[in-house]
Structure 1
Amino acid sequence: MRYLPLTPDDRQAMLAAVGAGSIDELFCDVPEAARLSGPIEGLPNHASELSVERQLGRLASQNLVAGEGPFFLGCGAYRHHVPASVDHLIQRGEFLTSYTPYQPEIAQGTVQALFEFQTQVARLYGCDVANASMYDGSTACWEAIGMARRITRRGKAVLSAGLHPHYVSVCRTMAKFTGDALDIAMPELTDGRPGDDMARLLGAIDKDTSCVVVQNPNILGHVADLSELAEACHKAGALLIVVVTEPVSLGLVRSPGEMGADIVVGEGQSLGVGLNFGGPYVGLFATRDKYVRQMPGRLAGETVDADGKRGFVLTLSTREQHIRREKATSNICTNSGLCALAFSIHLTLLGETGLRKLAAINHAGAVAAAERLAKVPGVELVNGAFFNEFTLRLPKEARPVVHALAEDGILGGVSLGRLYPRAADLANGLVVAVTETTSTDDVEELADALEEALA
């Protein structure tokens, strides 16, 4: 039986306080098409627990689970092999049940794990310092723009056409409340190199620009040298923010920090964290020492206690749960602690040599797959340099092709028409990701099925 502590009078008093006439008015920002007008179809209204379980099982069996067939999905969420030891270790009671260590003196193990995680992220990104993780890559991207505004006291952010559209959407939403102007463009399939977008970015930097945001590798899989862009940003007094959605790429690709990036953010899901239907994931955030006090989130630091023994503390905690809201650098920078731990354990097991080998396997597999798929009649590879993800131009719209492949038990990639439904010139684009979990047989099966679907 539910416990409902509020009386109807209580509810009316609360609604009156916020200026709403009914509870329904609180949902006015949710589009009508997204609201339920009745019970969910397919679920029984009244049935025994056993009957409900069976019905849900039948519905679940309609899903095509990653690993049950050839899998080529990417675009920000990647299927990698996660060692069994990762799951075993994060399920230890001292990790699984722990929460944010507000009292670090009694949570030394948790704070130390965060400290080691920060060290790994900073080295991976080529930066001086990293925070103790964030909610996910997209919100970390927005937080970086907000941080750039505080540092430069400017309000214009130039976003690369190659930035993931979901990240762009998050930035659009948050900019409504801060007044930041976002300079946004769409990707193109007409050229296999990101030079056109780079030229736009260089030309868009002016005295009002707080930052330029670039994803590398970008949404089409392109890998670029960002050194020239970093130099142009700094010359204009702006910051370069680099987004990395595939951290495994940094086993081969030069780190953003080495290229001159001021803030590096991204998604850490590839290491230690499964696909999980889209979450929970873990946002990574790193920057230069001189900007550390404007960095959102929490920072775990190393120190010594009164007896000279090594210890760990929360050095900076600039989120609104710790300090006055008006002084906080963020109020959405949730620390994904357990996912951060999984990331850290997986990266520790790999080590530097293992990460480089894993990246090499991913790249070699993607190159072989791209060469094979480009031989399918009518299919064209549009990429120049890429890591483990590339874009194909099909002779017809990609979305129905993807659906046809799924009917054959093959998750053949992400159609650009799904990501950019209003861009007709991108409708034929198909983004294909290849990782160490992809076999040669998987690629051959995709090639054969793709040829049949395009016939």
Structure 2
Amino acid sequence: MRYLPLTPEDRQDMLSTIGAASIDDLFVDVPREVQLDGPIRDLPMHAGEMAVEAHMKGLAKRNHAAGDMPFFLGAGAYRHHVPASVDHIIQRGEFLTAYTPYQPEIAQGTLQTLFEFQTQVARLFGVDVANASMYDGSTACWEAITMARRITKRGKAVLSSGLHPHYVSVAHTMAHFTKDQLDHRAPELTAATDSDDLFDRIDDDTSCVVVQYPDILGRIADMSALAEKAHAHKALLIAVVTEPVALGAIQAPGAMGADIVVGEGQSLGVGLQFGGPYVGLFGCKQKYVRQMPGRLCGETVDANGKRGFVLTLSTREQHIRREKATSNICTNSGLCALAFTAHMTLLGEKGLRELAMLNHKKAVAAAGKLSRVPGISLMNTSYFNEFTLIVDKDTRPLVRKLADQRILAGVSLGRLYPEESGLAHGLIVAVTETTSDADVDQLVEALEGELS
């Protein structure tokens, strides 16, 4: 039986309220040439179940998984080894949900894992408090910018040129509706970060300064002085971490004065998954906790004095805050947060530090080999497991040629910044514990062949 909750009169009333004459008026911004005028062409109207399964398996075989070939992609999504026990834990029936539980009396296990997740993120970021996760790093970054606006009552955000361009794009999309002013410039292929430039751009209208750590080119900067400058103008410093494994080796942003720290948790427990779902990380200083978006799990005691866990802060639009909510984010990435927590728990502090140092050691060895290839130079003087190479030719066709040889050589800056011709010779290369010496040797040999 079909569920049709609205009558034609209901639909017409809704259209009249928003000033639309028909449903078609809702799609006027979609170009006519991309609108469907009937069923999808070249798609059969029906097929048997076995035929559909065979067809879909054939399509799936055209994909190449990260482990099928030498893999050097990064730029915000990283290949790390995820222990099999992580998948075993998240597949358990009591955990297998992506949603935050509303009934604590039947969801103590899930709430406790989210409480542990918050503790791990807060300690990793060096902040006082963290929420129960967000959708991904890019939306967490934007939520941090709007949080800074609420705190400072200002509408100008200064974005580092080293901030991931996809994060910048999300911020611009949302700022279109909030009218926030975003001060951003494209990066330059230099070993130095843009800290000095950021200093000059901070003024008394600035709500926040947003810095990625390490940045999109793999560079690492001490943010302490930048935090002092921002605070002198009563602005906030927001640090963005797209590779949390790095924090096993480098100083936490909170220790350098960051007021809000956000990031992407995909590296720990989640896997690449062809681009998602991922898990956003969000932490801040205690004094800003009531302006933090999302949800907070807290520890309490029940009527009998027994330890228990509940949602303590949930300032979203569905609850009592309504239109005064700090965020319209309606859930958290609960299952991905559980995977993050399981992986972090298995590693422990010692294991995370060892993993981080292994990543860095392998990256240093790879950078040394690659920089000796004629026509290639290493841009970075500091990096964790990701660095930028400057190549004598446009790296976009180069990356495609190597992909045809079943080597995923890295991310071309020309792809990330298609309008910036000066960046076309940059190649971002990521090396993790999953990268073998043979993988690096294959990449070196292929580059030598293409650049000779």
Pairwise TM-score range, normalised by the shorter structure? over 0.9
**In the alignment, which residue of structure 2 is the partner of 1:337?**
334
Letter in 1 for 2:406: G
CA distance in 1, matches of 2:3, 2:181: 46
**In the alignment, which residue of structure 1 is the partner of 2:353?**
356
Shift of 1:16: 3.0
Match for residue 437 of structure 1 among 434, 441, 452: 434
Q: Please say if residues 164 and 215 of structure 1, whose CA atoms lie closer than 8 Å, have aligned partners that are also in contact.
A: yes
Shift of 1:409: 0.8
Q: Please say if residues 242 and 265 of structure 1, whose CA atoms lie closer than 8 Å, have aligned partners that are also in contact.
A: yes
Letter in 1 for 2:138: S
CA distance in 2, matches of 1:98, 1:283: 13
**In the alignment, which residue of structure 1 is the partner of 2:137?**
137
* Count of aligned pairs between the two proteins: 452
| Stretch deviating more after TM superposition (26-35 or 252-261) | 26-35
Following superposition of structure 1 onto structure 2, how do residues 150-165 of structure 1 map, counting pairs within 5 Å? 150-165=150-165
Q: Please say if residues 159 and 214 of structure 1, whose CA atoms lie closer than 8 Å, have aligned partners that are also in contact.
A: yes
Shift of 1:380: 1.2
Q: Please say if residues 98 and 336 of structure 2, whose CA atoms lie closer than 8 Å, have aligned partners that are also in contact.
A: no
Change (3 A) 1:234 1:34: farther
Q: Please say if residues 417 and 423 of structure 1, whose CA atoms lie closer than 8 Å, have aligned partners that are also in contact.
A: yes
Letter in 2 for 1:216: Y
Following superposition of structure 1 onto structure 2, how do residues 4-153 of structure 1 map, counting pairs within 5 Å? 4=4, 6=6, 10-30=10-30, 35=35, 43-97=43-97, 99-153=99-153
Change (3 A) 1:281 1:23: same
Deviations 1:181-235 (A, max 9, x none): 100010011x2121xx111110011010000000000111111111110111111
Shift of 1:2: 5.6
**In the alignment, which residue of structure 1 is the partner of 2:424?**
427
Specify the SS of the correspondent of 1:96.
Answer: coil
* 1:236 lines up with 2:241 in the alignment: no
Match for residue 263 of structure 1 among 250, 254, 260: 260
**In the alignment, which residue of structure 2 is the partner of 1:172?**
172
Shift of 1:39: 5.7
Q: Please say if residues 192 and 383 of structure 1, whose CA atoms lie closer than 8 Å, have aligned partners that are also in contact.
A: yes
In structure 1, the gaps of 5 or more residues are: none
Following superposition of structure 1 onto structure 2, how do residues 239-318 of structure 1 map, counting pairs within 5 Å? 239-318=236-315
TM-score computed with the length of structure 1 as normaliser: 0.95
Shift of 1:98: 7.0
Shift of 1:327: 1.7
Q: Please say if residues 126 and 255 of structure 1, whose CA atoms lie closer than 8 Å, have aligned partners that are also in contact.
A: yes
**In the alignment, which residue of structure 1 is the partner of 2:192?**
193
Change (3 A) 1:56 1:40: farther
Aligned sequence identity (%): 71
Shift of 1:101: 1.8
Letter in 2 for 1:286: G
Specify the SS of the correspondent of 2:55.
Answer: helix
Change (3 A) 1:333 1:421: farther
Q: Please say if residues 135 and 333 of structure 1, whose CA atoms lie closer than 8 Å, have aligned partners that are also in contact.
A: no
Match for residue 403 of structure 2 among 395, 402, 406: 406
In structure 2, the gaps of 5 or more residues are: none
CA distance in 2, matches of 1:42, 1:387: 48
Match for residue 383 of structure 2 among 383, 386, 405: 386
Shift of 1:12: 3.9
CA distance in 1, matches of 2:35, 2:185: 31
Change (3 A) 1:98 1:156: closer
Shift of 1:158: 0.1
CA distance in 2, matches of 1:82, 1:33: 44
Q: Please say if residues 226 and 259 of structure 1, whose CA atoms lie closer than 8 Å, have aligned partners that are also in contact.
A: yes
Shift of 1:57: 2.5
Q: Please say if residues 405 and 412 of structure 1, whose CA atoms lie closer than 8 Å, have aligned partners that are also in contact.
A: yes
Task: Provide the alpha-carbon RMSD of the alignment.
Answer: 1.8
